[in-house]
């Protein structure tokens, strides 16, 4: 009689089979009884493993196997409830982070003596507001940071966390949470965070999509270039602020302005004449750059022309010229552009460079498929 383990010979092969979401149930059942822990772990983590097998693996003697079951988003609530009482920290940690874990189980784990488990509950997207409200009072900074990042955290809790002594809680978490009320961010940015000694705090406020224009205007004058760069890239930054940042001494700040889809046309036109090819290159890739500016950029150096050839808004007549460029990389970019006219693509299918001709053929083929659909 041929044994199952001899059919699937190597350990690595058995692990790959156990992970396969399309594997048949009877194979998973056999693999779940493997003497190899790693194989059983793979079965336990498979999203399509049947409940009965998961139930058996939840009682496995190995902690890592039980933890894999606890982490599996397909594991039913009743199994997770049992695993939440496991003596092993890693198992309880996995339950705490599982989005299918019942609220009453999360509530119990929120009081676990192990910090990492409470942190996992704080970061679970299914953890309700009332539990997050309690975890926000935890002494551990990482737990409070996880609370501040959680999209379910109530506005009043976020407001309280903005006063936390730990800058990671204030910055990396609260300032970046899209649920943080605008009024809170504005007050903090101008009255508090703009004076914070940690640049990451100010940076976090500058990148928040809910940061009000008034706060962005204030942060645009920050001494740190990364803060100014982030303001320059924020779509909510007022036009007058972008105009000022376009004159910034730092090239990264100017590039951020050049990339911002909300940058006014007259500012883009000025930046297109920048001494820095990097700024001009960024302008060439901005989908909002006017056609007349793009036409001028077609006369630029290799890098700028290459970016221009990739821009879906580059005018057809410019693409036609770039299709004749001496550098094959630029011609290939034209061949791959979704808006390159078909007559140009037909010519590029005969290009002397195989990379160019192949890209042109693929582009034409994909269009024909789309038309059929």
Distance CA(25)–CA(109), nearest Å, equals 33
CA angle 23, 31, 73 (to 5 degrees): 65
Instruction: Give the CA radius of gyration of the chain.
Output: 28
What DSSP element (H or E) covers 203?
helix 199-207
Name the residue with tokens 């024909």: 368
Higher pLDDT, 350 or 158: 350
Does the predicted TM-score (pTM) go above 0.85? no
Q: What CATH number is given for 1-122 in this structure?
A: 1.25.10.10
Reported confidence tier of residue 341, pLDDT bands at 50, 70, 90: very high
> What tens digit of pLDDT does each residue of 61-106 get?
999 999 999 999 999 999 999 999 999 999 999 999 999 999 999 9
DSSP letter at 274 equals -
Measured CA to CA in angstroms, residue 71 lies from 41, 93, 108 at distances of: 11, 9, 17
Which DSSP string corresponds to 205-246?
HHH-TT--HHHHHHHTT-SSHHHHHHHHH-TTS-HHHHHHHT
Query: Could you tell me the pLDDT band of residue 160, with boundaries at 50, 70 and 90?
Result: confident
> Whole-angstrom Cα distance, residue 66 to residue 284?
54
Is residue 273 over pLDDT 70?
A: yes
| pLDDT score at 12 | 86
Q: Which residues, other chains included, contact 157 with Cβ-Cβ below 8 Å and sequence gap of 6+?
A: 129, 132, 133, 136, 147
Per-residue confidence at 10, pLDDT binned at 50, 70, 90?
confident
pLDDT at 180 over 70: no
The pLDDT of residue 195: 65
Q: How far apart are CA 266 and CA 113, in angstroms?
A: 59
**How far, in Å, CA of 255 to CA of 327, rounded?**
25
Nearest CA among 21, 84, 19, 29 for reference residue 51:
29
Q: Which of 63, 62, 64, 40 is nearest to 53 (CA)?
A: 40
Q: What is the structure's pLDDT at 177?
A: 66
Q: Which residue has the tokens 């924020």?
A: 234
Q: What percent of the chain has pLDDT over 90?
A: 72
Hey, what are 287's tokens? Answer: 């989908």
pLDDT tens track for 311-329: 999 999 999 999 999 999 9
Sketch the domain layout of the chain as residue ranges.
1-122, 151-219, 315-373
- Say yes or no to pLDDT of 169 above 90: no
What per-residue confidence (pLDDT) applies to 164? Answer: 86
286-298 average pLDDT score: 93
Task: Give residue 74's pLDDT.
Answer: 95
Cα 80 → chain centroid: 29
Residue 174 has pLDDT above 80, yes or no: no
DSSP designation for 339: T
The predicted structure's pLDDT at residue 373? 52
């Amino acid at each position: 009689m041929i044994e199952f383990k001899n059919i699937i010979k190597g350990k690595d092969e058995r692990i790959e089979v156990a992970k396969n979401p399309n594997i048949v149930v009877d194979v998973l059942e056999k693999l779940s009884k493997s003497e190899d822990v790693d194989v059983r772990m793979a079965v336990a983590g498979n999203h399509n493993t049947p409940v009965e097998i998961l139930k058996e693996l939840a009682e496995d003697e190995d902690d890592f196997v039980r933890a894999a079951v606890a982490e599996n988003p397909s594991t039913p609530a009743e199994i997770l409830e049992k695993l939440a009482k496991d003596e092993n920290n890693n198992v309880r940690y996995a339950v705490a982070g599982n989005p299918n874990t019942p609220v009453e189980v999360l509530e119990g784990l929120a009081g676990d003596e192990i910090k990492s488990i409470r942190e996992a509950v704080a970061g679970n997207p299914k953890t309700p507001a009332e539990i997050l409200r309690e975890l926000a009072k935890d002494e551990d900074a990482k737990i409070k940071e996880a609370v501040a990042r959680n999209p379910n955290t109530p506005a009043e809790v976020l407001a309280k966390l903005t006063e936390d002594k730990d800058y990671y809680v204030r910055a990396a978490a609260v300032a970046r949470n899209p649920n943080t009320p605008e009024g809170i961010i504005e007050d903090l940015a101008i009255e508090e965070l703009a004076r914070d000694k940690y640049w990451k705090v100010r940076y976090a406020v500058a990148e928040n999509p809910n940061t009000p224009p008034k706060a962005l205007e204030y942060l645009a004058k920050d001494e740190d270039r990364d803060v100014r760069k982030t303001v320059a890239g924020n779509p909510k930054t007022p036009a007058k602020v972008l105009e000022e940042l376009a004159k910034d001494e730092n090239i990264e700040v100017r590039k951020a302005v050049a990339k911002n889809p909300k940058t006014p046309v007259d500012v883009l036109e000025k930046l297109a004449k920048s001494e820095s090819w990097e700024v001009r290159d960024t302008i060439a890739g901005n989908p909002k750059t006017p056609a007349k500016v793009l036409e001028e950029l077609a006369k630029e150096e290799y890098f700028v022309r290459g970016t221009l050839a990739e821009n879906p808004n580059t005018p057809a007549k410019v693409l036609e010229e770039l299709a004749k460029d001496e550098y094959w990389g630029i011609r290939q970019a034209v061949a791959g552009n979704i808006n390159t006219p078909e007559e140009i693509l037909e010519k590029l299918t005969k290009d002397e460079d195989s990379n160019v001709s192949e890209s042109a053929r693929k582009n034409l083929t994909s269009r024909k498929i789309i038309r059929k659909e």
